[in-house]
Amino acid sequence: MTKEDLRKQFENCVHPTKKIFLTFCLAFGISLSLLTYIFHPSTFPKMFLLIIFSLLIGISFSSKHLRHLYDNLDQALHQLRVERSTYFEKYAVTTTDMIDDFTMSYTQYDVKLSFSYRDQSQSFTVLRTSIPQPYANQRLVIVAHHLSLPSDRIRDYEERFDLSEFSQTYATFIKRRERNLALFSSPWETNQSPYKTISELPATEKQTFELAIVNQLDPATNESTTKTK
């Protein structure tokens, strides 16, 4: 999926008149011909009813065609997002750090962990029941994974997956689609909408954090082991 293919999908949805009108004419003409052949209307009222029925069929097919165009655009955005994630995972370089200076704030069910990483304040929450319990010669740490694209890959990555131009060109259409999704979709589907991230620059760095139990250094081998949770 290229950005040019995506642009065509947007144009089909933003300016669908030609495609929808063609679908309407075909559906109306075919249905009217078949109904006339089947019922042989001999009076004007009967013919009028067949025309009205054919109009409804044409409108129904046109509406389905428009929804099909919207579905194609949603799938194209989803595919491009998957390709972006695949590209990042393929070329990103990972560095891992351990953080043992952090605070834990307990609530009834959760634990909030707050700490500093790369000169920035960070925090995440886990269930109290998922906190691993350290024993003798063990300590609880946060394992930080920092993923970043090499400098020679950033330009290609942004050229492929930077969609900010679409958020400006098709701003009105995107707002209407987000509003419709909010009205007719579940909250989970609305949050997963591909239109929400279309204006954001593709991230060239990502960070993930997890709790882990680290065994203290073994004097005999000078090695340590980490068990994540």
At 151-162, the pLDDT tens digits run: 999 999 999 999
**CB neighbour burial string for 185-215, b if at least 16 within 10 angstroms, e if fewer:** eeeeeeeebbbebbeeebebeeeebebbbbb
**Domain-ending residue, one of 61, 90, 119:** 90
Distance CA 146, CA 220 (A): 31
Domain count, the chain: 2
Asked if residue 64 is part of any domain, the answer here is yes
Please state the pTM of the whole predicted model. 0.70
SS3 at position 89: helix
Q: Report residue 116's pLDDT band, with 50, 70 and 90 as the boundaries.
A: very high
pLDDT band (50, 70, 90) for residue 20: confident
Residues 62 and 124 in one domain: no
**Domain extent at residue 109:** 92-162+201-229
Q: Residue 190 has what pLDDT?
A: 54
Residue type, 27: A
